[in-house]
């Protein structure tokens, strides 16, 4: 079953990536403005714009340019950036590495907090601790990430200067220095993600804890910790894993606001800058990378749900 699932999802993902690349290309094509004029600036002469358009093949029909890009992309050649005039790989991968570092650290903290708080609120359902934690999660769900980021900067970088207000990656030399530099962006992203997962985990775990087979395991005299961790928790993780898959996709591409607040050189800011210049090769590369991460995260989440839930494997 797992092999069939993975094979079918890979085929669907490849087709989806083709559709995404096609949609992104035409979306950029319909944007107002001209790439050559934006690259050269307002003071550029009409002749220089014409020469640059010819050199970048912008005068070719859109279908020809898309086919040319797709042919080279599947061969591993991501093309040249129209704005920076250098290989897209060298342009995108450093930003991708930065985003992966930030996303990985935030995801690790998110997994620990969401699992711990979700289990605690479910076990203390209806009590004072559950009430306070639920209020905090609701506040976290209602606050945009840029508000959380600005508040963290005001409190922990201005009022009490414990952490740097900007995430200057070029000044990081060691792993402790990396954690120190990225502390506020990590906390901002974690707060934005954790609230939804905690809410999902709490509601599903409460439902599972009240199910017949969990009640039977408790009546048999099994330790409470074993009942929760071995019998209840695996069956309650499914929706939380799906939320985590969505959070991973959001981490990779939707953190442009956080990157702007903390001046972080990530993939999101590069995407926005590339859109302003109509830099199609860079935009296409980033879109394919983000779509691939999203599809891979959803595939891993589906496989983990099947592994953790025997009833789904049996069906």
Write the pLDDT tens digit of every residue in 28-47: 777 776 667 666 666 667 77
**Domain stops at, among 10, 39, 73:** 73
Specify if 86 maps to a domain: no
We report the CATH number of the domain holding residue 157 as 1.10.3720.10
Q: Is residue 85 part of a domain?
A: no
**Domain extent for 286:** 93-314
Same domain, 303 and 173: yes
**Residue bearing tokens 């897209």:** 88
The arithmetic mean of pLDDT across residues 204-233, rounded, is 74
Q: How far apart are CA 264 and CA 256, in angstroms?
A: 9
Task: Identify the band that residue 156 occupies on the pLDDT scale cut at 50, 70 and 90.
Answer: very high
CA separation for the pair 208, 238 (Å, rounded): 12
Out of 80-89, 146-155, 176-185, 221-230, least confident range = 221-230
pLDDT recorded at residue 1: 63
Does residue 33 lie within any of the structural domains? yes
Which stretch, 186-190, 203-207, 235-239, has highest mean pLDDT?
Answer: 186-190
Q: How many domains does the chain have?
A: 2
> How many CA atoms does the CB half-sphere of 115 hold within 13 Å?
15
| 240 in any annotated domain | yes
Same-domain pairing of 164 and 310: yes
Assess whether 192 and 52 both reside in one domain. no
- Whether 292 and 221 map to the same domain: the answer is yes
State yes or no: pLDDT of 18 exceeds 80.
yes
Residues 243 and 149 grouped into a single domain: yes
Question: Of 52 and 315, which is predicted with more confidence?
Answer: 52
More confident residue, 309 or 20: 20
178-186 contacts, C-beta under 8 A, 24 or more apart? 178/101, 179/105, 182/101, 182/102, 182/105, 183/156, 184/149, 184/152, 184/153, 184/156, 184/157, 184/262, 185/102, 185/106, 185/149, 185/258, 185/259, 185/261, 185/262, 185/264, 186/102, 186/105, 186/106, 186/109
Q: How confident is the model at residue 155 (pLDDT cuts 50, 70, 90)?
A: very high
pLDDT of residue 41: 67
Which phi and psi (to 5°) does residue 173 adopt?
-120, -30
| Residues 78-87: tens digit of each pLDDT | 878 877 778 8
Least confident segment among 85-89, 166-170, 283-287, 302-306: 302-306
Query: Sign of the C-alpha dihedral, residues 248, 250, 254, 255?
Result: negative
- Please report which helix (H) or strand (E) contains residue 51, including its range: helix 46-55
Say if CB 235 and CB 173 are below 8 A apart: no
| Res 309 pLDDT > 70 | no
CB 141 within 8 A of CB 236: no
Q: Is the pLDDT of residue 247 over 60?
A: yes
Is residue 106 located within the same domain as residue 216? Answer: yes
Let me know if residue 197 belongs to a domain: yes
115, part of any domain: yes
Examine the domain organization and report whether 67 and 99 are in the same domain.
no
**pLDDT at residue 89, as a whole number:** 86
Q: How far is CA 112 from CA 158, 160, 276, in A?
A: 28, 26, 38
User: What pLDDT is stored for residue 253 in this prediction?
Assistant: 60
Please report whether residue 26 resides in a domain.
Answer: yes
Look at residues 43, 73, 103 and tell me which one is the last residue of a structural domain.
73
Q: Are residues 188 and 277 in the same domain?
A: yes
Residues 170 and 135 in one domain: yes
Same domain? 69 vs 97: no
One domain for residues 36 and 116: no
- In this structure, the answer to whether residues 184 and 218 fall within a common structural domain is yes
Task: Return the SS3 of 175.
Answer: helix
Q: Is residue 42 part of a domain?
A: yes
């Amino acid at each position: 079953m797992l092999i069939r699932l993975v094979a079918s999802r890979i085929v669907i993902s490849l087709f989806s990536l083709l559709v995404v690349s096609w949609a992104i290309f035409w979306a950029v094509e319909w944007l107002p403005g001209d790439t050559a004029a934006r690259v050269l600036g307002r003071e550029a002469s009409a002749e220089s714009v014409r020469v640059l358009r010819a050199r970048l093949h912008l005068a070719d029909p859109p279908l020809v340019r898309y086919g040319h890009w797709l042919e080279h992309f599947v061969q591993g050649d991501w093309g040249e950036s129209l704005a920076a005039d250098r290989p897209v790989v060298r342009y995108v991968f450093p930003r991708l590495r930065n985003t992966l570092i930030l996303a990985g650290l935030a995801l690790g903290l998110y997994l620990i907090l969401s699992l711990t708080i979700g289990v605690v609120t479910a076990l203390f359902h209806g009590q004072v601790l559950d009430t306070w934690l639920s209020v905090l999660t609701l506040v976290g769900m209602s606050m945009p990430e840029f508000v959380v980021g600005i508040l963290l900067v005001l409190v922990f970088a201005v009022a009490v200067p414990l952490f740097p207000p900007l995430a200057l990656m070029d000044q990081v030399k060691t792993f402790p220095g990396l954690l120190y530099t990225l502390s506020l962006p990590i906390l901002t992203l974690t707060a934005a993600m954790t609230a939804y997962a905690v809410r999902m985990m709490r509601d599903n775990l409460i439902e599972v804890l009240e199910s017949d087979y969990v009640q039977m395991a408790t009546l048999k005299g099994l330790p409470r910790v074993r009942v929760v961790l071995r019998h209840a928790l695996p069956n309650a993780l499914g929706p939380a894993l799906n939320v985590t898959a969505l959070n991973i996709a959001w981490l990779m591409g939707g953190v442009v606001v956080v990157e702007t607040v903390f001046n972080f050189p990530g993939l999101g800011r590069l995407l926005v800058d590339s859109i302003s210049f109509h830099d199609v090769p860079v935009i296409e590369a980033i879109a394919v990378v983000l779509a691939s991460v999203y599809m891979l995260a959803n595939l891993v989440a589906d496989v983990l749900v099947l592994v953790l839930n025997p009833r789904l494997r049996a069906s």
